[in-house]
Structure 1
Amino acid sequence: MTPLVDVVIVNWNTGGHLRTCLRSLARADQSRLRVGEVVVVDNASSDGSAQDLRVTGLDLRVVRNAGNRGFASACNQGAALCRSDLVLFLNPDTELYPDTLRVTGEFLRTPGARRFGIFGARMVDARGRPRTSCSRLPSPRIYAGGMTGLDRLAPALFPPHHLRPEELSRSGEVDQVIGAFFLVRRPLFAELGGFDEDYFLYLEEVDFTLRARRLGWASYFNAEAWVYHAEAISSTQLGPWRHYLLLCSRTRYMFRHWPKRQAWLLTGLSLAVEPVARLVGAALHGQSPNVRATLAVQRAFLGWLRRGRPPGPPPVPPARARQAAPPEPVPATHEMRRSV
């Protein structure tokens, strides 16, 4: 019997990308993995991207939130409406290739798939070139390198968070697959209580993956299942405030999963060293360092540390959300994409 997967898509001002994503689902080869219900949870978009979403061939439900509940909360909200044994959390700025579900379903049928609870795919750009697909689970050394720029100067000592394309030449077990295509077994999702809603944006899937590993469930990267990923269509609209949300999520992750001594040390780097490193890095890359925005983000982060509560939407609303650029077309088959 063909396995059934429900799909949850959280949307916030993604323009035409959401419709393109849905159409790619409808066109996908479902001979080995059949799409059940598709739930779109819209976090109070202002660009009309969640209006009139009718796609032939999809059992589609749209949930409209009055405000932005955050990514983790909206994912849980959508998953609560699903019933299949598999749940795919899919970014609205992705587009499946025609064989993505078939390739994924073929692996799910193998005995080797039984020990994995989370499944990912290869992310590519519009020309089929690799994008970030998998990451190392964070460690103090990884975060210290990212905060100070040492991951670029001395990667052997401070490994980068994301795996490079040359490290992902074949399918297999990885620390973590990114959340743009995040396929989860429903029993595992239920056992973990879904995503931790204290993460408003960023690291919710990292936290979920770590908790799954502690229960004995590994993550699998399928190098043959390709997904076009436009990347950061929603988050770029936040401007510098997306770094505020990253700081909050990163700090929460450190204090939840690391010894407090290490967490406080890295928090000190976040406050004292990282802002300087970011400003210097911008100047070295020929960009104008935005000192005012950096200081505003740091003040907001300090306020969050004092409150000790989960972050809500950014403390200063971004400018009116702009219409997201239309997605670039992706090749239709493996043969076409390998020829570019």
Structure 2
Amino acid sequence: MDSVIRATQKITSEIIIADNCSTDDSVQLVREKYPQVTLLPFGSNYGFSKGNNLAVKQARGTYLCILNPDTIVGENVFLNCLAFAKANSNLGFVGTQLIDGSGTFLPESKRHLPTPKVARAKFLGHDDKYYFNEIDKDSRGPVEILVGAFMFCRKKVYQDLGGFDERYFMYGEDIDLSYTALTNNLQNYYLGDALVVHFKGESTVKDKKYLKRFYGAMELFYDKYFKRNLLEKLVVKIAVKILSIKPIKNTQPNPKIKKKILVTNQVNKGLSSFDEVCSMDTLPATSCSNTALYWDINSLLIEEILHYMKDNPRSFLYRFLSLDRSTAVGSDDKNSQGKIEIF
């Protein structure tokens, strides 16, 4: 939230949070810490599609950005997307380069249309057919499918296309809407020079229910857009059934932090909680998998942090401090939930 507020300081904007019936104190926390935010607390979990559609109905601006709650954005990301949108009249949606909490590039930032042929290749481990590798991850260019963690567009385009199909509870709705834009002669674009951290794994636990929803969403997508004979439908149903019960990939536990380094531009701050203090100019030259860099976003540019993480993936453990330095968040593996540390 702090990163979004900072990134919208130079734009006339509003922040709308759609809360799908949180069971913790998230709603109260937002009300207390961010009174300027428009909060929509739903009495039920409507899912990603309906929750976002309801939020869009409340939006008053000309442009929209669908943004996951487990993201951190740079100061200029919305300005860059806005400038790009104004220069491209046939724009569908704009996506950015997503990295996870370790700084590793997330290839789902730009994807091909998952036709049954492409999907079969993906399921067999041939990711090159699924991801849009024709464009370098640091470049800009037209792509087919973007990811719902960050989708920027004109509000009129979103409304004209009907928004997210609410039959998708979670997963698949971004593929559907991206493809709908293409079928309406609009072009989706990827901006590889705009960085966003997407922690992943924070919005949902990757269990058997997750697999069933994910592959069930793909079955819905194929039924909606691809005419298939009975044999093809049967094959897809069997594949979805098998994939939805496959073992969950084991992830390594979060490594134990042996050394904490506060990275800040404020001198003599936080010495008691950390083993060392340095600035962006004096970061350690040697990487260490058990050393954590704690980013002081109160004194550092978030964009500078994100570029460092992208250029040094998994060199260190990375943690983002809250503005008051009372908590730190981070995630070391895209397949597992992250950690919150309270000081």
What is the TM-score when the length of structure 2 is the normalising length? 0.68
Structure 2 CA distance for aligned equivalents of residues 181 and 70 of structure 1: 17
> In 2 relative to 1, CA 30–222 (structure 1 residues): closer, same or farther, beyond 3 Å?
farther
Question: Could you say what secondary structure the match of 2:37 adopts?
Answer: strand
Q: In structure 2, what is the equivalent of residue 139 of structure 1? A: 115
> In 2 relative to 1, CA 73–335 (structure 1 residues): closer, same or farther, beyond 3 Å?
closer
CA contact (8 A) 1:28 1:99 kept: yes
Structure 1 unaligned blocks of 5 or more: 1-21, 288-327
Q: CA deviation at 1:170?
A: 0.8
> In 2 relative to 1, CA 127–146 (structure 1 residues): closer, same or farther, beyond 3 Å?
closer
Instruction: Give me the identity figure in percent.
Output: 21
**Map of 1:1-340 to 2, 5 A cutoff?**
22-28=1-7, 30-31=9-10, 34-54=11-31, 59-110=36-87, 113-126=88-101, 128-132=103-107, 133-147=109-123, 149-151=124-126, 155=128, 159=129, 161-163=130-132, 167-236=136-205, 239-261=207-229, 262-271=232-241, 274=243, 278-279=246-247, 329=295, 332-339=301-308, 340=312
Higher relative contact order structure (alpha carbons within 8 Å, sequence separation ≥ 6): 1
1:290-338, Cα deviation, whole Å (9 max, x unpaired): xxxxxxxxxxxxxxxxxxxxxxxxxxxxxxxxxxxxxx75873545544
Structure 2 unaligned blocks of 5 or more: 253-293, 313-343
Counterpart code for 2:114 = P
Structure 1 CA distance for aligned equivalents of residues 204 and 175 of structure 2: 17
Q: CA deviation at 1:165?
A: 9.9
1:159-191, Cα deviation, whole Å (9 max, x unpaired): 2x3345974331010011111111121111111
> In 2 relative to 1, CA 233–128 (structure 1 residues): closer, same or farther, beyond 3 Å?
same
Q: CA deviation at 1:37?
A: 1.9
Q: CA deviation at 1:30?
A: 4.5
Q: CA deviation at 1:78?
A: 0.5
Q: CA deviation at 1:73?
A: 0.6
CA contact (8 A) 2:211 2:244 kept: no
Q: By percentage of residues, which structure has more helix?
A: 1
Counterpart code for 1:24 = S
Aligned-residue CA RMSD (Å): 2.8
Structure 2 CA distance for aligned equivalents of residues 184 and 38 of structure 1: 15
Structure 1 CA distance for aligned equivalents of residues 217 and 176 of structure 2: 10
> In 2 relative to 1, CA 126–242 (structure 1 residues): closer, same or farther, beyond 3 Å?
closer
| Greater Rg by CA | 2
> In 2 relative to 1, CA 42–170 (structure 1 residues): closer, same or farther, beyond 3 Å?
same
Give the paired residue count.
262
CA contact (8 A) 1:26 1:55 kept: no
Q: CA deviation at 1:275?
A: 6.0
